[in-house]
């Protein structure tokens, strides 16, 4: 997330862009023209996403593929190793395309024994180290760079968090050193790298719930268990992480049948208006929202809903 130190906010207030980032993104939108947005640095809210023209309610602003994703350890159904779509067959991949694009790092992962690392995650209820493991396999196989998440803002870590991460690092590194992976291939895998990646994942990972799977799940399972397990996985994106938070957002992210994120306008957006998403459940009351945002993302929300006590 593009979590600023303070959120001066309301949809009637447009932060003034200082300069435009010169990032190049590959957009996989069906529209031939580039998406109607720009990412700018502002003096009031840090990095932010702005509309470059009026955007109508319901418009698909852009799509985004994850930089890294991983199935949820408690997913209700088996999902594709690569795109997290629900699987109907026993293969780890939903399609030839998914197999082709991930087989290099899938093979790296399959060569190692993950028993100790996976036990460490499961016993502590940790899901984010699985994303670091996946990213490490991607780097070893040459499909990702070790600095691919550096552009994202890291969480502030306490000494206790770092202590817990050190154990995860040791187990991850051990899993690789016991395989045929060379020292050179895992030279990037230092304690500092592991902690820095996990610090970024902590506040930038999205919990993926597929819109298409939920109705079927509701019919086939007790509601209480569905509530806890509807997530098919977790993923980190680059561009979607630049959207700031608002408890009354003008944009949102949905997932239809895979980890491909779709950013949609929730209402008419003016040219130059900042676009914001809600990082948490917007139906929670003000105190619960502010508590969650502070604990999970480290900022006090000063959006107009929060300021008006809604
Ligand atoms: Zn797939
Ligand atoms: Zn708020």
For the domain made up of 17-64+238-307, the CATH class stated in words is mainly beta
Pairwise CA distance, residues 153 & 204, whole Å = 8
pLDDT, average across residues 150-173: 95
Give the Å distance between the CA of 103 and the centre of ligand 1. Answer: 12
| Burial track 12-33 (b if 16+ CB lie within 10 A, e otherwise) | eebbebeeeeeeeeebeeeeee
Which residues of the chain form CATH 2.170.270.10?
17-64+238-307
Q: Of the bound ligands, which one is closest to the alpha carbon of residue 301?
A: 2
- Higher-pLDDT residue of 43, 68: 68
Looking at residue 24, its pLDDT comes to 39
Minimal CA–CA distance to 257: which of 98, 151, 49?
98
Q: Is the pLDDT of residue 247 over 50?
A: yes
Minimal CA–CA distance to 27: which of 39, 12, 17, 41?
39
pTM score, two decimals?
Answer: 0.85
Query: Cβ atoms within 10 A of the Cβ of 61, count?
Result: 22
Query: Cβ atoms within 10 A of the Cβ of 156, count?
Result: 10
Give the Å distance between the CA of 78 and the centre of ligand 2. Answer: 35
Minimal CA–CA distance to 75: which of 130, 19, 18?
130
Q: Is the pLDDT of residue 143 over 80?
A: yes
Pairwise CA distance, residues 126 & 199, whole Å = 13
Q: Of the bound ligands, which one is closest to the alpha carbon of residue 304?
A: 2
Looking at residue 178, its pLDDT comes to 84
Minimal CA–CA distance to 235: which of 81, 99, 119, 93?
81
pLDDT, average across residues 32-61: 91
Looking at residue 29, its pLDDT comes to 46
Most confident of 17-26, 222-231, 278-287: 278-287
3-state secondary structure of 150: coil
Terminal-residue alpha carbon distance, the chain: 23
pLDDT, average across residues 270-274: 97
Where helices occur in 70-229 by DSSP H, the ranges are 96-111, 115-124, 128-140, 159-177, 191-204, 211-220, 223-229
Q: What is the mean pLDDT of the chain?
A: 86
1: pLDDT confidence band, cut at 50, 70 and 90? low
Q: Is the pLDDT of residue 11 over 60?
A: no
Which residues neighbour 272 within 8 Å (Cβ) at sequence distance 6 or greater? 14, 50, 51
Q: Of the bound ligands, which one is closest to the alpha carbon of residue 91?
A: 1
Give the Å distance between the CA of 98 and the centre of ligand 1. Answer: 5
Max CA-CA distance within the chain? 59
Give the Å distance between the CA of 105 and the centre of ligand 1. Answer: 14
Which region among 86-100, 105-119, 193-207 has the lowest average model confidence (pLDDT)?
A: 86-100
Q: Is the pLDDT of residue 75 over 90?
A: no
């Amino acid at each position: 997330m593009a979590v600023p130190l303070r959120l001066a906010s309301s949809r009637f207030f447009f932060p003034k862009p200082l300069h435009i980032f010169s990032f190049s993104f590959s957009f996989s939108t069906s529209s031939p023209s580039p998406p109607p947005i720009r990412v700018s640095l502002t003096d009031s809210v840090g990095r932010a996403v702005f509309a470059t023209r009026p955007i109508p309610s319901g418009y698909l602003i852009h799509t985004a593929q994850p930089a890294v994703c991983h199935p949820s350890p408690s997913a209700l159904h088996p999902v594709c190793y690569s795109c997290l779509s629900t699987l109907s067959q026993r293969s780890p991949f939903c399609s030839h395309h998914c197999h082709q694009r991930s087989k290099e790092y899938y093979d790296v992962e399959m060569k190692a024994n993950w028993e100790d690392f996976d036990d460490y995650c499961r016993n502590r209820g940790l899901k984010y180290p699985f994303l670091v493991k996946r990213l490490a396999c991607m780097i070893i196989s040459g499909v990702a760079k070790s600095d691919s998440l550096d552009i994202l803002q890291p969480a502030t870590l306490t000494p206790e968090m770092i202590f817990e991460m050190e154990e995860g690092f040791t187990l991850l590194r051990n899993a690789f050193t016991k395989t045929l992976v060379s020292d050179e291939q895992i030279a990037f895998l230092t304690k500092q790298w592991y902690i820095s990646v996990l610090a970024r994942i902590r506040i930038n990972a999205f919990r993926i719930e597929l819109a298409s799977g939920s109705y079927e799940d509701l019919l086939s399972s007790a509601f209480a268990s569905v509530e806890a397990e509807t997530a098919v996985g977790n993923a980190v994106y680059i561009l979607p992480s630049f959207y700031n938070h608002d408890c009354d957002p003008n944009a949102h992210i949905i997932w239809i049948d895979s980890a491909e994120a779709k950013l949609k306008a929730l209402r008419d957006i003016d040219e130059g208006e900042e676009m914001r998403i809600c990082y948490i459940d917007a139906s929670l009351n003000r105190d619960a929202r502010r508590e969650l945002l502070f604990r999970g993302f480290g900022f006090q929300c000063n959006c107009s809903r929060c300021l008006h006590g809604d």
